[in-house]
Structure 1
């Protein structure tokens, strides 16, 4: 159904890097989610009242919370699409993350309330009336929730939306919890055991876990998470595709919401090249990044001496040497200052956050190894953590 509706309602639907297309997908999935969850709530609430089952009623209110979550997600996508203004020059894209966080809060609140009701049912059990109609409603609900999981996951991956993928996981946990309620109804029918309250508690725990997952997925980009390694690879490939650029470092990706990225990086260029020609190359690379990845890019040129063979050999020697300190260490901005008593090797080193060493420890280890090299060399090194892995 989503595929069919997207063909009818979303212009240029395959251009998923476009903020307008992403917003259209979010709006469509949010609207369908609201409609389906309201129908499920009505059916399950009726089944819960008919059977007197707290587990079925809990599952109904779980769907009502999902309808509210879909409404918040839909609103978030709409607000995130507002154009940049004086107060928000990079747009309003992070509202999508905030809406996801609000959804997580609503799910958490619903889970706590349903857990309290289920505990009360455990302490004060009541007989549950078996009903074929209620059983049929729950079975149909499992099928609907599986469908919602499938389309939310597909669209979430297609448009790279953390909020949509969190909604998909919520639908999958709903499927499991509804199936548990269905099994509980059958157990009660066949054995007479009062398991309704316990299954209601399991449903509440599913809801709380969904809240945790949703909060984690949306809070991380708000705090400033590392960029997707695939995106980093694409950026590097585009920048290094021109032979003028001999290296890339200090790449930083600023996330202002899905489809709204600001990139800054340093591009190493020959120190003795034509400055005007190299500036034109950098301008073209920035335009290519905008066209292919829909991101604003600011590139700083770093001159590198590519003509002096002795400096090139020293750079390669030091690059191998620093890997003895930490295999993941890399260097950049390498230059040599000659002196009468010794030569200074001046460079920066990049240390991933995953390393067990501190920048100070790495810098001292590098200085010691450079001092032990053949010749009279001193390392003037700055070690910094990498923004990307």
Structure 2
């Protein structure tokens, strides 16, 4: 159904990273979610009134809260699609994360309210009147929620939306919750034990757990996440396609919301080439990467000595000795400054955050190891943190 609607209403529907296309997918899926959740609420409310089940009623109002969450998502996608302005030069993309966070808070609030009503049902239990009709409603609801999970999860992966993934996970949690309600309604016919209240309690806990997970998934990109290794590798691969660029380092990815990203990096180029020709190559690389990744790209040109055999020898020593300490260590900006009594070897070392030794210990070990192999060298080391 969503695929059919997408063909009808979304132009260039397969251009998933286009800001307008993302917005239209978000609004379409959320609007359809509102419709389905309102229908489920009406069906479950009638079933809850017939069965006198608090767990059934809790599940019904959970669908009503899901409809409200979808409405928030519609607003979030619409606002996040606004173009940059004077007050927000990087756009409004993070509003999508904020809308996802609001959805998560609504889920948590519903979980708390259902927990309270379930406790009351355990303390003051009432007879549950289960029926084939009520169970049929819940089985149908599970199938609808499965469909909602599949389309939300599928579209979330395509447009890389944390807010939509939060909605998908909520739908998956609803499937489990409704299954618990079925068990409690059926079991309630055969025992006076307050299984209905216990079922409602389990539903509330599952909803609350889903809310906590959704909160984390939307807060993380707001706080800032490192880029994925596959993305970093792709940036490096595309940059090194330009013949004059022999390496990159100090890559930083700034995420201002889906489709609003800024990349900065240092590109290593031969120091003996014409500076104007190199500058033109860097400009071309910036433009190509901007188009490839749909973002802003800034490159700093780092000239390096590529024909000095002594420098190549020292680079290999640095690489070998740093790997002995930690295989993940890497060095860049390696250069030598000859002097009368000693040669200064200046470089940056990238230290993994969970490295076996501290920054000072890493520098001391490297200095000692390199000094042992090249006695005339004095190391000047700057410690960097990895960009992934």
Fold-level match, TM-score > 0.5? yes
Q: Map Cα deviations across residues 323-374 of structure 1 (whole Å, 9 max, x no partner).
A: 1122111000010111121111000011122324332221222122122223
Report the Cα offset of residue 193 of structure 1: 4.0
Report the Cα offset of residue 274 of structure 1: 1.1
Correspondence 1:48-127 to 2 at 5 A: 48-127=48-127
Please, which runs of 5 or more residues in structure 1 have no aligned partner? Answer: none
Using the TM superposition, name which of 234-243 and 254-263 deviates more.
Answer: 234-243
Tell me what 1:38 maps to: 38
TM-score (ref. length: structure 2): 0.98
Name the SS for the 2:373 alignment partner: coil
TM-score (ref. length: structure 1): 0.97
Tell me what 1:27 maps to: 27
Tell me what 1:141 maps to: 141
Report the Cα offset of residue 375 of structure 1: 3.0
**Aligned pair 1:307/2:307, yes or no?**
yes
Report the Cα offset of residue 135 of structure 1: 1.5
Cα distance between partner residues in 2 of 1:225 and 1:362: 26
Tell me what 1:339 maps to: 339
Tell me what 1:249 maps to: 249
Correspondence 1:1-389 to 2 at 5 A: 1-191=1-191, 193-388=193-388
| Distance change (3 Å), C-alpha of 1:37 and 1:81 | same
Report the Cα offset of residue 153 of structure 1: 0.7
Cα distance between partner residues in 2 of 1:356 and 1:171: 42
Q: Map Cα deviations across residues 283-340 of structure 1 (whole Å, 9 max, x no partner).
A: 1111111111101000001111001122112112211111112211100001011112
Report the Cα offset of residue 92 of structure 1: 0.2
Cα distance between partner residues in 1 of 2:4 and 2:228: 30
Q: Map Cα deviations across residues 254-279 of structure 1 (whole Å, 9 max, x no partner).
A: 00001110001000001111111111
Equivalenced residue count is: 388
Name the SS for the 1:150 alignment partner: helix
What root-mean-square deviation, in Å, do the aligned CA atoms of Structure 1 and Structure 2 show? 1.1
Name the SS for the 1:372 alignment partner: helix
Cα distance between partner residues in 2 of 1:315 and 1:25: 50
